[in-house]
Amino acid sequence: MSHPANTVRSLLQTDLVTAPTREALNGRLNAPPRRPTFFSADEFALLQAVCDRLVPQEGREPSQRIDIASGIDLRLSENKSNGWRYDDMPPDGEAYRLGLRGFDESAQAWFGQSFRDLSPEQQDEVLTAVQALEAPGSTWDILPADHFFEELLAEAVENYYSHPLAQEEIGYVGMADAPGWQRIGLNNLEDREKQTDASA
Amino acid sequence: MTTTHDIVDAVVIGTGAGGAPLLARLARAGLRVVALEAGRHWNPKLDFATDERAQDKLFWNDERLSAGQDALAFGNNNSGTGVGGSTLHYTAYTPRAQPDDLRIRTEFGVGEDWPIDFADLASYYEEVEQFLGVSGPSPYPWGPTRNRGYALGPLPVNGAGQLMERGCRTLGIRTSPAANAALSVGYYQEGVGHRPGCTNRGFCQAGCTVGAKASMDVTYIPLAIHYGAEVRPECFVTQLVRNASGRISEVVYIRNGQEERQRCHNVFLCAGAIETPRLLLLNGIGNSSGQVGRNLMAHTALQLWGEFDEDIRPYKGIPGAIISEDTHRPTNADFVGGYLLQSIGVMPVTYLSQMARGRGLWGSALKQAASAYNHVAGINILGDCLPYEHNYLELSDETDSRGLPKPRIFFSNGESEERMTAHADQLMRQIWDAAGARNVWTFPRNAHIIGTCRMGNDPDTAVVNADGRSFDIPNLYISDNSTFPSALSVNPALTIMSLALRTADKFLTSQRRTA
Ligand SMILES: Cc1cc2nc3c(=O)[nH]c(=O)nc-3n(C[C@H](O)[C@H](O)[C@H](O)COP(=O)(O)OP(=O)(O)OC[C@H]3O[C@@H](n4cnc5c(N)ncnc54)[C@H](O)[C@@H]3O)c2cc1C
Ligand code: SF4
């Protein structure tokens, strides 16, 4: 199922969206590229490679790619938390550094190459193994691989689907909040929803 | 250092469901009251976006450490901050408890009874429902007959609600529009003014921009201010200072990085079921029972999701539309207490983040499942949880950005909770099958933190008495989700607010006696 492009971007131009909502979404849409301030350049490139497998963006023009890794880097450099962490995990920043090292360690153990040099299929094999607590490497003795993977995946998904372009991809138009919704029952669409109807 | 030399009658710490109603009640009685609230005082119209990420600011995001078999998620799954507390982002389901909810020990021989009766709460339930403008059906199909119906008729039902009605009808399970503290039409409130009806924006869990949802910042807080209360936002309380006689004489808090003090005759601690026990433990007070931070309960709250052929658009309509309490005491139950069933709408990032955690999907499988978002609907339960020795809160030796020890919370479901969850899993699958769902999956979770400073009649096993007053410190009261002796099989906020009014009335009566 794929949804028509441009819906959210065109909605944002209209008065169907309230000012605070438009500001939040435009901020993300127009965010200038930034250099990592928490991760080293190598760590950051590795994190990007991992995010590309977790939330693939094939078919998206380079200029429209959603920079998932930057959001993670920004949060960690601001030392922000989402309110909790698993007690068996080290603090978030440390967990990310360790986990990234772990991906490389597992890649080396299985394929004799760093994670970034693996084929996409090999990268997926490593990720699958980490998620299932079956990846090789001493890092995973000190970092609970399943919890790390869950946290990384959740943060990547939240960063990605907060972005207007990703919201277009799933046909979400809830940001058109100014008029309220009268048609809320099953198969009952407002005009501004119809253009996102994948079956239409 | 600023010293506020005035001795106020009461300091209320926290302005959520437990703090705000009580603040209004004390102010109405003519007391000089000051509320200290860690979070900001928002202007929803200007400050709130229909965007989950932008609304992260409503959540209590200081890091907590989660331990145990069923480690609890905090932040957006749990507690809020700001004038209004967690009601800023609650879904505003406001069912009443049923009388037997307060008698778990009598009925099942485990857990705890409440030191008060349903009759002690009933008139407060009615008062809160009328004041907030709760929308709901009259008569309501479950529980004792009522003196008065809900203030307003029920809210319109969204796609998830219609599907729950459809599935339950097939199985012979009764459903009803839920009781919701969101206005189905505009409503005039004494001391507050006119509030508009719900616009079906579906973002209750990220804050209501129009003021239709009865969060405390648009209801009891303006009422309290109307009666002369002072609300001081962005004041983080750190110390409760006692005088030679053991009473609290001063509350110390941080504002703009500076320490300030407020002298007072009485303190009402309403910081929620994590921060209230944390403050007491930090100060080493009020814990002669050893029960502060213990008996931690969290409702069983399994969610079940499915995809449907119909266009649902789960971001529309009040998220909590349809309820059933037919599972309050199921005949074939092998667990303690019971649960209720609710339909759920959901915002996209919340849904997809839960899907990532719950199903572990990534790569093309994630993308595919995500593209079905407009066709997704859920139901969930909310059920009893027993207090256990192994579930508690302690102070860790890791400090947070304020330099205070982070709380560590242990939580593992017991056998009763696991059986209840299995029972509900089976039933909800049947309902969703009957409604026509595909690709059904469940998200295991527990919701609401309860019981960490419980009330009771025995100072050896409870932290506060039935009036919410500390057994150790005569001028300290607690009013929030921490005082519940049992979890109840319903969402907590209405009971927290009702109990808050009762605590205020008991306090005012005791003041009149000693005066
Ligand atoms: C997503 C979500 C949906 C929910 N939906 C429902 C629902 O539909 N129905 C329902 O009944 N319940 C619901 N709840 C639960 C409900 O919101 C809470 O149970 C209720 O608000 C708890 O009230 P409280 O007074 O215990 O604490 P809170 O409302 O959390 O208030 C505590 C306040 O104290 C402040 N505070 C804490 N520490 C300090 C300090 N040191 N100094 C100063 N201030 C401090 C906090 O900032 C906060 O404002 C929901 C919760 C969540 C997370
Ligand atoms: S659904 Fe209604 S009550 Fe909830 S946030 Fe929207 S307008 Fe407010």
Q: Where are the domains of chain A?
A: 7-194
Ligand lying closest to the C-alpha of residue B490:
1
ipTM of the complex model = 0.96
For residue A74, which residues of chain B lie inside 8 Å, CB to CB? none
Nearest CA in chain A to B317: A184
Please report which helix (H) or strand (E) contains residue B2, including its range. Answer: strand B2-13
Burial class, A105, CB count within 10 angstroms (exposed 0-12 / middle 13-18 / buried 19+): buried
Q: Which of B140, B42, B152 is nearest to B95 (CA)?
A: B140
**The domain B3-514: what is its CATH number?**
3.50.50.60
- Tell me how far apart the alpha carbons of residues B38 and B83 are, in angstroms, rounded to a whole number: 8
Q: Which of A178, A183, A161, A176 is nearest to B311 (CA)?
A: A183
Cβ of residue B236 lying under 6 Å from some atom of ligand 1: yes
A157–B353 C-beta distance less than 8 A: yes
Report CA-CA distances (Å) from A100 to A39, A50, A74, A93, A107.
10, 9, 17, 11, 11
pLDDT band at B78 (very low <50, low <70, confident <90, very high): confident
Question: b/e map of A128-139 (b: 16 or more CB within 10 Å)?
Answer: bbbbeeebbbeb
Name the residue at shortest CA distance from atom 4 of ligand 2. Answer: B204
B408–A87 C-beta distance less than 8 A: yes
Whether cis (ω within 30° of 0) applies to the bond prior to B405 is no
DSSP annotation string for A47-78: HHHHHHHHS--TTS-GGG---HHHHHHHHHHT
C-alpha R_g of chain A: 19
- Tell me how far apart the alpha carbons of residues B357 and B444 are, in angstroms, rounded to a whole number: 10
For residue B367, which residues of chain A lie inside 8 Å, CB to CB? 55-56, 169
Ligand lying closest to the C-alpha of residue B91:
1
Q: Which of B247, B250, B248, B251 is nearest to B238 (CA)?
A: B251
Task: Return all residues near A13 (Cβ < 8 A) that are at least 6 apart.
Answer: none
Digit-coded pLDDT (tens) for B433-455: 999 999 999 999 999 999 999 99
Low-confidence stretches of chain A (pLDDT < 50) are: 1, 199-200
Cβ of residue B484 lying under 6 Å from some atom of ligand 1: no
Q: Across all residues in chain B, what is the average pLDDT?
A: 97
Digit-coded pLDDT (tens) for A13-55: 999 999 999 999 999 999 998 999 999 999 999 999 999 999 9
Report which DSSP code applies to B71. Answer: P
Digit-coded pLDDT (tens) for B268-303: 999 999 999 999 999 999 999 999 999 999 999 999
Edge to edge, what strands does the sheet with B64-67 contain? A84-86, B64-67, B405-410, B392-399
- Tell me how far apart the alpha carbons of residues B69 and B511 are, in angstroms, rounded to a whole number: 46
Whether residue A132 lies within 8 A of chain B, CB to CB, comes out as no
Cβ of residue B480 lying under 6 Å from some atom of ligand 1: yes
CA A97 to ligand 1 center in whole angstroms: 34
- Residue A200's pLDDT is 39
- Residue B2's pLDDT is 44
- Tell me how far apart the alpha carbons of residues A173 and A4 are, in angstroms, rounded to a whole number: 12
Domain residue ranges of chain B, discontinuous segments joined by +? 3-514
pLDDT band at B230 (very low <50, low <70, confident <90, very high): very high
The answer to whether B221 and B16 have CB atoms below 8 angstroms apart is no
Whether residue A42 lies within 8 A of chain B, CB to CB, comes out as no
- Tell me how far apart the alpha carbons of residues B417 and A117 are, in angstroms, rounded to a whole number: 47
- Tell me how far apart the alpha carbons of residues B458 and B449 are, in angstroms, rounded to a whole number: 22
Place of tokens 């909605």: A11
Q: What is the pTM of this model?
A: 0.97
Place of tokens 């303006």: B222
The answer to whether B345 and B314 have CB atoms below 8 angstroms apart is yes
pLDDT band at B4 (very low <50, low <70, confident <90, very high): low
Name the residue at shortest CA distance from atom 46 of ligand 1. Answer: B81
Neighbouring CB atoms inside 10 A of B161's CB total 30
Bridge-partner residues for B193, per DSSP? B189
